[in-house]
Amino acid sequence: MDWTPLLLSAKLALLTTLLIPVAAAPLAYVLAFFRFPGKSVLDAFVTLPMVLPPTVLGFGLLIIFGPQACLGGAWEGLFGERLVFSFAGVLIASLIFNLPFAVQPMRASFEKLDSRLLESSAILGLSRTAAFFRVVLPNCLGGLAAASILVFAHSLGEFGVILMVGGSIPGETKVASIAIFEAVEALRYEDAFRMSALLVPVSFVVLLIINKINARKP
């Protein structure tokens, strides 16, 4: 049996989890603490990938990652590699797809934060950016951990979006979910079973960890 798809899934999940806070944390911060016109529009826009069928999102990304579209064309001009059907493309798709799954728990934990902490830090002269790194983040580690683990589990099982933008290239975009799907279609049930048998306990353990974190009182 070929283990490459499972390793590829693990790599994708790990990189998504490591990179997603860069985009998600500022968004969650803005959504939790700021009031501005158009906030509900931003909120809806960030949450959209959670509600859209993955096939719809995947089809949209297939088109904008393609060489004819501005994003895909610019990428190909810059790196000489096509964005669609590449690991980079799948990773970007995974980041977009997972954004709401990271933003929501982070935002919830930011909103639970005692407002007196922020008030005192403002009185003591901390800027909003400094307050974010020195007060908000250290006090919301639980929410951040929950978000990371949710994103990790979610990208491990991602199927619909990758099916659309991946093109099932071994070692590049053929992740575990696609390999399992293909094995079932090819009537190689044995292979499908072995790969699933590894994914199920991993996902289960991940959920146990989330429950542990959520049960912990701050």
Binding site for another protein (CB under 8 A): 62-63, 65-68, 72, 82, 84-85, 163, 165, 167-169, 174, 181-182, 184-187
Interatomic CA distance for residues 167 and 187, integer angstroms: 20
Of all residues in the chain, what percent are helix, strand and coil, respectively (each to 5)? Answer: 80, 0, 20
Interatomic CA distance for residues 206 and 218, integer angstroms: 21
Is 72 or 143 the residue whose CB approaches another protein more closely?
A: 72
- Asked if residue 94 lies in contact with residue 155, where contact means CB atoms within 8 angstroms, the answer is yes
Helix (H, G, I), strand (E, B) or coil at 85: coil
Is 89 or 100 the residue whose CB approaches another protein more closely?
A: 89
Least distance to another protein, CB of residue 199, Å: 19
Least distance to another protein, CB of residue 66, Å: 4
**Cα–Cα separations (whole angstroms), residue 1 to 11, 137, 216:** 19, 43, 40
Interatomic CA distance for residues 154 and 216, integer angstroms: 22
Is 43 or 182 the residue whose CB approaches another protein more closely?
A: 182
Least distance to another protein, CB of residue 9, Å: 17
Is 72 or 105 the residue whose CB approaches another protein more closely?
A: 72
Cα Rg of the chain (Å, integer)? 19
Least distance to another protein, CB of residue 45, Å: 24
Least distance to another protein, CB of residue 12, Å: 17
Is 58 or 105 the residue whose CB approaches another protein more closely?
A: 58
